Each structure stands twice: as C-alpha cells, then as structure tokens.
Amino acid sequence: MAEPATTGALNEQQVLLSTLPPSRGQQRLALATILVLLAAFCATVPFAAVPVGYIREFIPAYAAAMFVISSITSALLFVQFSVVQSRALLAVSGGYLFSALITVPWALTFPDLFGATDMAGTTWGVLSRIWHLVFPLSVIGYTLLKDDEARTAWPRALSYFAVLLSAAGLLVAFDLVTGLGTTTSEPMPRGSPFSMLDRAQADWNALLFLLALFALALLWSRRRSVLDLWLMVVMCGLLIELCLITLVGLRYVVGWYAARVYFLVSSMLVLAVLLSETALLYARLARSVMAQRREREARLITMDVLSASIAHEMNQPLASIVTNADAASRWMARPTPDLDEVKATLEQIRNSAYRARDLIGSIRAMVKRDGRNRAPLDLNDLVREVLALTERELQRNRVSVEVELEEHLPLVNADRVQLQQVLVNLITNAIDAMAEKKWPRILRIESAAREPGGVLISVADTGKGIDPKIVDRIFNPLFTTKSNGMGMGLAICRSIIEGHDGRLQVSAGPEGGAVFQFVLPATVAR
C-alpha cells in the first residue's frame, strides 16, 4: 500500500497520514472503492422500494459497528494530532468522536427497538439529523483549516490538554443534545432550539446531501494526503446513504437497509486502510531508526578504521625519522664527527617528514575518492623508488632482493603516493613474514604487461605463508596475524588498488611463502 521506505531518517511528511502524499496504488484503490460503491448503488436503485420487513438486530449491530469504527478512527486521528499539533486534525477527530458517542442514544431511541411500533416520537430523527450534520461539518472544518496552519510547536502537555478538552466539550455537547432530544416523545414546541430539526425529512435530507457534497468538493480541491483521499471515500459513502434514504422515504425496505450498509462498508474500509497504513508507517519508522543506528555504528567503525589507518601508515616514516635521528646523534658523538654522514642522515629525515606529509594527504584523498593527484605513472620507476626507501630495512633484516621488471611497461594513471604506500606495505609485510625464517630470505618483485590492457606488479616472499583458513579474511579491516599489528595495511592496499579500478589478490608461492599481485588498467602504451 505505501511506497517503499528509503533508508535513513524519515521526516514528518513520511510518517504522518495527514501529511503523507498518497501513492498511485492508494489512489487506484480509493477510486476502485468508490466505483464499487457507485455500482452497488446503481444496482440497488431498481429494488430500493422492495419491502424487507423489520429486522430487530440490524440497528443495534449497525450502531455497535459504527461506534467501534468511529472510536478507533478518532483515536488514530487524536494520536496524529498529538504529533503534528494541527487544528484541522483536532476538528475531524472530534467529528469522529461525536459520531461514536451519538450512536448509543441513536440506537436506544430507535422507534421500533423495544416493540413500540406506533411510536411517533421525534428523538431518533433529531439524533439522525444531528449525526449527519456534525460529521460533514467536521470534515469541512478539517479541509478549511489544514492549509492555514500556523506552524508553531505546542508543548506536549498542551497537546494532551487540547485533546482532553475537546473530548470533554464533545461529551458535554453530546449530553446536552441527547438530554434535549429525549425530554419528550411528542413534537417539539415551536420555540424549542431543536424545533427546526423536526421539520420535513425530505427537506433535511436535501440539506444534508448538499452539505456532504460540499465537503466532498472541498476535499477534492484541496486533496494532498492519504487522509484526504480516504475521507473522500467516506463522504461518498455518506452521499450514497443520503441518496437512498431520500429516494425511498420509507423504513424496512431494501434501500433503507442498503443505505446504512454502504456507509458502514465505506467507513470500515477507511478504518482498515488507516490501520494498515499506520502499521506500514510504523514499520517504515522502525526501519529508519535501525538504519540510523547502523549509520551511526558505521561512522564509528569508519572513524576507528581511519584512525588506525593513519596510525599504521604514519608509523613507518616516524620510525624512519627516529632511527635516522639516532644515527645522526651517534655520528655527531664520535671524537671526530662525520659531517657527511650527518648531512646524509638529515636528508633522509627530511625526506621521511615529507613522506609523512604526503601520506596524510594520500589518506585524505583516498577517503574523499579524490583523483586530482593522479597522473601517468611508470610502475617500474615506482618499484625502484620504493626499494630505495626500504633499502636499510631490507639490509637490516638480511633480505635478498630479486627484481625482474619488464621493459617498456605501459603507463598507468595513478596517484604516486598511494601506490608507493601499497608497495611499502607489501614489502614491509614480506619482511615481517620472513623475520622468523633463518634462510633463505628472498624478496621477488616483478612487473609485466597483462592483456587486455593491464599492468601487473608481483611481490613474493619466502616466509611461512598464509593459512588457507584465513586467506578470505586477510584483507578485512582490523584483521591481523601479527601480535603488534593493527590489521589495516592490507585493507588500505586493497582500498587503494580498487580505487584505481584494479584488483589485489594473494596466493601461495610455488616454493612457500606468499605472493601478492595487483593489476592496474594501463592508460598509455609506450
């Protein structure tokens, strides 16, 4: 019935029937309901005057059904009012509440209910006319007020007080109407406030018909919400009831019974739709709350991942800065300081600081998916550059390096710092994987052109390899096999490679260890 919900927060217009625009399906259903009622009316007209006889249980059953339907509808609309604080909703919910209350004396004063078939009292007719007068007026009030709402938020306590005050006012009015209407079973004096209600039934039916038609026309001209749509269906049911009553002018004939049945059916359908829409909107709201909760959790995880990424990537240049600063201190502490070595070490410290700065910009660009720093890049030059950066680390861990680079490799359009970050991570992981192995410690780096239009970089080690049970999780954020690892290196590598429209994968080496390969699309052939 309702449109599919979108993830994320819902606004007022998406959860309130008084503001929710009707979907095409709802419009079709309402139109089909009206057409069925009209078809039933047309089928009833030829037999409207056929006598049926007095059915004693009909009026009590009809009144009980209308009492329940009107009470529940009124409660739903009062709840809507407590949320949106609209005078229009207060008007129509009050109309439904009055309709629910008046059904009780209306049924109890029915002339033939207690066997008094010759009863000539006017109470029942007065109550019928009041019922059919107040309800269209409440709908007209709703229609006129709903477009002129002052969007000022009422305090919640004041909203509840307005509901209670309206209900109390309706109870007083109901008690007054029924009290005056049941004081006598004789025709009312000419000076009585209700004497005008005791006039010709045909005149009153015509007036009530025009009033209901006016309410329907107003709703049609100002229809915007689901509630507007289904109030139109109710008014159509009321018009059909008034038409049949005016047409037959008699009790206990087909038209007299059918009039009440059609109005009851239309009211019942509206209540069913309102209940189903409320349930669907509640489900939509629940999904929205869950989506907001997932978004909040995702943001927290993202912040954790981002902070871990920054810490992971900054550890390398910061460790290099500390190591080189210690080396420079040792060179300066000699009896004869080696200024050339100190100068070279300070140069490396400066390069590491620049690299830390570039890493921060690279992480930011990766998060923002910013491709402005991409340019045609020779991956062979990048491999040589990274090997120069990690030379001391490789020597300290006594790792032999075997490099096999294909000449005239096609260029790729890439961010140099980000791909440098990937290669440094893969080489550092390879060094760590071979740290526990005495010999041989061999790092193999290869490059090759791949068809169609791809460039392959392979980083292989002779370490202990990767357990096949965890190979599917090796690229997951925060998953690590190192005792001091953060589990971010490979996750960052895959994110960068996939951000460059490439793919990163791992496999077991032919002689043990692991082989990490990534393929990037070539952009310029040389």
Phi, psi of 209 (to 5 degrees): -60, -45
Burial class (CB in 10 A: 0-12, 13-18, 19+), 28: exposed
| Helix (H) and strand (E) counts in the chain | 14, 7
**Do residues 424 and 383 make contact, with C-beta atoms less than 8 angstroms apart?**
no
Instruction: Specify the 3-state DSSP secondary structure of 518.
Output: strand
The CATH superfamily label for domain 373-524 reads Histidine kinase-like ATPase, C-terminal domain (3.30.565.10)
Residue 368, pLDDT score = 54
Going by the DSSP 8-state scheme, the letter that residue 53 receives in this structure is -
Residue 351, pLDDT score = 78
Residue 122, pLDDT score = 64
Residue 207, pLDDT score = 82
Question: Which pair of tokens denotes residue 36?
Answer: 């069925």
User: Residue ranges of the chain with pLDDT lower than 50?
Assistant: 1-13, 117-121, 150-154, 156-158, 160-162, 165, 172, 180-199
pTM for the whole structure: 0.52
Instruction: Specify the 3-state DSSP secondary structure of 46.
Output: helix
Burial class (CB in 10 A: 0-12, 13-18, 19+), 191: exposed
Phi, psi of 377 (to 5 degrees): -135, 135
**Tens digits of per-residue pLDDT, 288-333?**
777 667 666 655 555 555 666 566 667 767 777 888 788 878 878 8
